[in-house]
Amino acid sequence: MRGMCAGARAARVFALAASLSACAAATPASAPRSPPPVAAAPADVPPAISANAGATFVFHATAAGAPSGTAALPEIEALRPALKELLHVDIGAGGDLARLGADPARPILLSWAIVDPGQLLALRKASPPPPRDAPLIVRAVLVIPLADAAGLQGRLAALPPDERCARPSDDEARWAALRARLATPEDRRAGEDRSAAYVCHGDRIASIMRLDLPRRQLTWTLAFGDGSLLAAASRPPAIDVALAVRLQSRGFFAARAGMYTTPADEARAYVALGMVKTRHAIDSAPREDLRGELWREYLWEVGGHDRLVDSEPRLFSELLLTDGQVSWTLTPEGRTFFASLGLAAGMPATDLGLAVEKRLKPVGPFADRKKLVATVQEAGSGAFMLIKHFLWPHVLAFAASNPDDLPTSIPVWADEGARVELDRDGRVLSVRAGAPE
């Protein structure tokens, strides 16, 4: 099972773990229209946050075009290769964002691994295996604010050529070739819309770039997996307004670089990404009984993400990373546990690690070495990010009980000089990096 692969592009999509694009509502148009008058970007309105995203990232471009602070946030850096391959934009390169006209004063927003929870749940409950054409689509949205929206079409023409892509407004031959590849009625209907600035459609991947002149922003939506991908890339994602307002109040959009996620959202993303990759390998089984056996085995393996994040006690409900600070919103169990540690304001993060080791009793997968190793192997690479983000106390407790198996180390975020804060209400635990004393 673990060695099966759905092909090089599917592997890249899986490793992608982030992509880009955002989507604005597609207004049907058979011919180019005159652009609306350019208005100033609205003030005091938080950027749109896609609902059901595995994680939301924010960063800023500098005046020279290079993103500021991404090198300090490995989660964003890890997305660069996939974004560069799929969209020919390197968010870490000095020239790419400048070439597109990115506005350094406003945040670039990436909503990663947007998944329909109902669609994914239906597949996970399927027994026998779901039909080979059952849809599973993962989307991502990249929104780049523009300092200068004029002349964008000319700048798009400078993008590296890709046989999968076309500019509907002025690239008739490529546009016709792209439309000829569309296989489903939904995709063919989406292919009648010529209002996008740039459209791509390939093997299990589609993306649409739209220009919003009033807001001065470029929005890319990427859809990959199985189903009518161009239609999925055309649909605007549902927006979580309440979350956007809450993140704005916490300074998320002003951060040089930041990330927001929850245990359930991140786990769901890894499940969906893994399923997109693995289903084709399972469906290629030569016999239906073997396909059913592989499917049941896979469902158990992919449940490793749930078994990890459901490990008691469930301490954290949210993670917020911004500019050298990591903050966790605590669950009721988490508030009780961290209150019991008697944390002093500004205490060294190393002391927090030691206190957790002494107080937390490992249970579930973390109480048994063989079970923990098996669960991590079953969940795959996503297990390590879930542990880093939400389960580091459990690993510390495990290490304290199993000194020969894991080093009794402090979490990776607790570098020398890092300090701990527990807010006045005991609801948010924060660790801020600091210079060594």
Query: Is 47 within 8 Å of 107 (Cβ atoms)?
Result: yes
Token representation of residue 434: 């600091």
**CA distances for 109 relative to 18, 76, 236, 256, angstroms:** 12, 11, 15, 12
Residue 22 confidence (pLDDT) = 26
Residue 328: phi and psi, rounded to 5, are -120, 130
> Rounded to an integer, what is the distance from CA 208 to the centroid of its chain?
18
Q: Which residue has the higher pLDDT, 14 or 349?
A: 349
Residue 159 confidence (pLDDT) = 65
Residue 10 confidence (pLDDT) = 28
Lowest mean pLDDT among 14-23, 200-209, 380-389: 14-23
Token representation of residue 16: 């992608």
Quick one: pLDDT band at residue 23, thresholds 50, 70, 90? very low
Full-model pTM: 0.85
CA distance 176 to 172: 6
Token representation of residue 385: 């990010």
Render pLDDT for 146-159 as a digit per residue (tens, 0 to 9): 987 777 767 776 66
pLDDT at residue 284 greater than cutoff 60:
yes
> Rounded to an integer, what is the distance from CA 155 to the centroid of its chain?
27
Mean pLDDT computed over 140-146: 92
Say what percent of the chain tops pLDDT 90.
47
Give the domain ranges of the chain: 8-261, 303-432
Quick one: pLDDT band at residue 247, thresholds 50, 70, 90? very high
Mean pLDDT computed over 370-395: 91
Quick one: pLDDT band at residue 400, thresholds 50, 70, 90? confident
Say what percent of the chain tops pLDDT 70.
81
Render pLDDT for 218-242 as a digit per residue (tens, 0 to 9): 999 999 999 999 999 999 899 999 9
Q: How far apart are the first and last CA of the chain?
A: 49
Cβ-based neighbours of 312, under 8 Å, separated by 6 or more: 333, 363, 364
3-state secondary structure string across the chain? CCCCCCCHHHHHHHHHCCCCCCCCCCCCCCCCCCCCCCCCCCCCCCCCCECCEEEEEEEEECCCCCEECHHHCHHHHCCHHHHHHHHCCCCCCCCHHHHHCECCCCCEEEEEEEECHHHHHHHHCCCCCCCCCCCEEEEEEEEEEECCCCCHHHHHCCCCCCCCEECCCCCHHHHHHHHHCCCCHHHHHHCCCCCCCEEEEECCEEEEEEEECCCCEEEEEEEEEECCHHHHHHCCCCECHHHHHHHHHCCHHHCCEEEEECHHHHHHHHHHHHHHHHHHHHHCCCCHHHHHHHHHHHHHHHCHHHHHHCCCCCCEEEEEEECCEEEEEECHHHHHHHHCCCCCCCCEHHHHHHHHHHHCCCCHHHHCHHHHHHHHHHHCCHHHHHHHHHCHHHHHHHHHHCCCCCCCCCCCCCCCCCEEEECCCCCEEEEECCCCC
Render pLDDT for 409-432 as a digit per residue (tens, 0 to 9): 445 455 678 899 999 889 999 998
Lowest mean pLDDT among 64-78, 81-95, 337-351: 64-78
